[in-house]
A and B are shown apart, each in its own frame.
Chain A
Amino acid sequence: MASVMVSPEGGGRLVRIDPGVREANTAWVGMVIFLGSWTVMFAALFFSYGLLRVDSPVWPPDGYARLPLMLPAANTVVLLLSSIALQGGLRAVRANKPLFPWLMTALSLGAVFLVLQGIVWHSLWTEGFVTASGRYGSVFYLLTSFHALHVLVGLGFLLWLVPRSLQSTYTPRDHSPVRLTAMFWHFVDIVWIVMFVTVYVL
């Protein structure tokens, strides 16, 4: 239920705030701060990549072939679709429609991404491109594996949502976990796009 209270700014302004909404907004603020923090973490990794690359006379360094482009490009599309599906799920919850189909789409596309990523790793590794393959190998495996770890965590969150989506736990007014998971999932997606452009394309 809504309640009347003095706004935190004082001054006697009347603000109507629903306690549930307020708690959800607090969670949203926390998530934004957390993602900001994590952005800096990835920024530090990209900074390292940039510094190592700028230091090198040629890129990729001598003796290394360029990374493959086709499969990662397809993977970008997969992750993007997954993100869109989860956003569709969020909209569905807000329109009081079932979340489950959207959630399963996002979940399976996320899993497909990891499988394709595994195939990329495997083929490169068997061709002799390993973590010890100089700067190129170090940077590639660090960035992609760290990102894949985040995809894995995101899949965990999505999996956690599945039983709850079946029991229609979430209402248009109260669906904070879906919203937060979607934020995290979009973040992982955006990081991947930056990673794809910098590591594979450029």
Chain B
Amino acid sequence: MDLQPIHSPPTTFIKKYVFSTDHKVIARQFLWAGLLFLAIGGGLGMLIRWAWGFPGEAVPVIGDLILPHSNGVIGPSTYNGIFTSHGLIMIFFAITPMMIGSFGNLCIPLAIGARDMAFPTLNMLSFWTFVIALLCVLASFFVPMGTAAAGWTTYPPLSTQIGTPGLGQTFMVLAIFFTGSATIMGGVNYVTTVMRLRAPGMTYMRMPLTIWGQWLTAILNVLFVPVLAAAAIMLIMDRHFGTEFFIAGANGPGDPILFQHLFWIFGHPEVYILILPAWGFAGDLLSYFSRKPAYWYKGQVWAMCAVTVLSAIVYGHHMFLTGMNPLLGQSFMLLTLIISVPAELLFLNWLHTMWKGSIRLTTPMIFTLGMVFVFGLGGLTGIFLGTISTDIYLHDTMFVVGHFHYTMAAAAFLATMGAIYFWFPKFYGCQMNEAIGKIHAWLSIIFITLLFGGQMVVGFSGQNRRLWNPFEYTFLEHLTELNLLTTYAAFALGISQLLFVWNFMEGVFSKRTCGNNPWEVGTLEWELSSPPPVHNFTTIPTVLRGPHEYANPEVRRTLGRDWISQTEELPSQPAGTGGADSGAAPAGGDSADGAADGDAAASDEPAAEVAGG
């Protein structure tokens, strides 16, 4: 008897596509919402670049439409709103819903062999709470004095009524609160689902690295997003209910540094929240497309766990310049630099995974390689910011901007794009066009590297971040041309995304189909049809081995291919009860049979040992 219920599939349109509890539908909803806000956030980013490339000139084409009062010219206060909302939208309303909301929802139940999330209704509530947040974001643009303008970090006193009296700032803080609530709901769901609904035989050490990344991310979300929520509540109380937590000086007895503590207690784990799923994708995809087991799977898992733990205790490196006790500063510096050890370990494992593999340069693989490259750049430059002596000079320059864009923006963006191309069959039942995909991938990688590299170089030359017109300062005048080049890179990046838009839409509406397993991958989701049926698994599969069983000579001898699915029994095994003829058949029947057979129990099988050990 199966322990997870099969409910009858929804019949009405509302239940099926709007208030759906099906994790795959919710994954699509998050994907669309995320892509929409990625476009908005990207557009805002291009406006910032326009202001730096062509200061004081009217924005072409859409200028009159979006800024009618200034004839398309980006003025200083508009500029403040643009860079603030760009950051907040990209982090909370583009990357988070796509990478965590969408792929967490799609992959976790499918890849661990569950019929749905542990709490499907909570999952639905999570998405619709997120929609409330999106509405708050959109509303913030249309109130007097415009959207939030205190920077994405929302530091008081700038973010209190003194610095930003407009309602837009309140709406944005409310949006952060709502999206935080949605994230906590999702996080509780993901953590519970992985703990409770893994199929028989799916041990923690047999989960795909994608699931590890999502699970650790969910743990960080559950633990640290509440801190942001607390900060948001206090800020809203300061803005509208008369409290004085953050209002200091002549205006009040509070302490603005308190907000920085709260913000970064959340904010540093958030950095890893946005990169751990990408690391998971990379660990898996590099293995899938190198046709080799992920090098030192357990090492990668433990490295990700180590980063998860360390990420919680390094936040002080964002506050070196707040007059912190030097001893405390040095402790934070040491802990920060220690993170580079597990990160380096992951990096070496990725390179080792590819070493002597038979690499297939598919679109997802190119994106993943790009992610590895830009993450390397971002990670290495982080060392200079984690070190107090260099951070004092680099703090608040464009170097910081370039650094965190390489890690949080470029790496997260490229990894997410790779994941969209890779899992597209499970979303919409076909593969996207590979030729266009490859062009999209290469253009994205090249321009994103130039874009953020350009920011780093000007930052190293002393350009401060967040300046409306940096070239008003004589010591920055000579950086005009470099900024212009970076602006061209940004626009080229933006325009090359049109390839993706076309490719994605074509895939969504096309009648093409692909088999269950177009990439020849062994994890559970690829045994299901594309897209999977409502309740995923008719019988819960029994998992026999780890997720990266490639290039195993035994498998090649008996099955004549270089991969074997996680549930497939090798034909030569005496316990085999059939089902080994194709990757599509879950072996072992339902769980009760699996137990009755006794020796179907996983760990005795030599083939299982290859990946597990």
Contacts and interface: CB of A to CB of B under 8 A. Distances in A.
Contact of A138 (B189, B196, B254): B254
B241 interface: yes
B180 to A, nearest CB: 10
B245 A138 contact: yes
Interface in A139-176: 139, 141-142, 146
B125 interface: no
A132 B595 contact: no
Contacts of A201: none
Interface stretch (B10-18, B98-106, B231-239, B331-339): B231-239
A6 B603 CA distance: 12
Interface in B19-44: none
B75 interface: no
B242 A26 contact: no
B592 A3 contact: yes
B237 A131 contact: yes
A94 interface: no
B265 A44 contact: yes
A138 B156 CA distance: 16
A134 B595 CA distance: 66
A48 B258 contact: yes
Nearest to B199: A8
A198 B478 CA distance: 57
Contacts of B191: 33
B201 A29 contact: no
Interface string B179-205: 000001001110110011111111100
Interface string A38-77: 1011001101100110010000010000000000000000
B243 interface: yes
Contacts of A3: 1, 3, 592
Nearest to A48: B258
Given A3-B1, A37-B226, A14 B595 contact: yes
Interface stretch (A17-25, A81-89, A113-121, A186-194): A17-25
A10 B201 contact: yes
B226 A130 contact: no
A77 B254 CA distance: 33
Contacts of B596: 4
A9 B231 CA distance: 40
A142 B240 CA distance: 13
B223 interface: yes
B602 A11 contact: yes
B233 A61 contact: no
B197 A26 contact: yes
Interface in B527-554: 542-543
Most buried by B among A40, A47, A51: A40
Contacts of B216: none
Given A48-B234, A135-B253, A138-B244, A19 B188 contact: no
Contacts of B3: 3, 5, 17, 19, 22-23
Contact of A41 (B195, B226, B592): B226
A48 B262 contact: yes
A19 B5 CA distance: 9
Contacts of A142: 233-234, 237, 243, 245
A142 B244 CA distance: 11
Contacts of B227: 40-41, 44
A1 interface: yes
A33 B245 CA distance: 29
B158 interface: no
B226 A6 contact: no
A197 to B, nearest CB: 20
Given A6-B601, A48-B258, A142-B233, A26 B196 contact: yes
B603 A10 contact: yes
B118 to A, nearest CB: 5
A51 B195 contact: no
B224 interface: yes
Given A37-B184, A52-B245, A137-B243, A30 B189 contact: yes
Nearest to A38: B226
Interface string B465-503: 000000000000000000000000000000000000000
A100 B143 CA distance: 50
Contacts of A36: 222-223
B352 interface: no
Contacts of A1: 1
Given A30-B119, A135-B244, A142-B233, A37 B192 contact: no
A6 B200 contact: yes
Contact of A51 (B200, B203, B261): B261
Given A6-B594, A40-B227, 17 more contacts: A3-B1, A5-B200, A5-B592, A8-B202, A10-B201, A26-B197, A27-B119, A34-B184, A38-B226, A40-B223, A51-B261, A131-B241, A132-B242, A132-B243, A135-B253, A135-B254, A137-B243
Which 9 A-B residue pairings sit nearest by Cβ, starting from the closest?
Answer: A12-B601, A41-B226, A138-B243, A44-B230, A6-B200, A132-B242, A3-B1, A131-B242, A10-B602
5 contacts: A6-B595, A9-B203, A33-B192, A40-B227, A135-B253
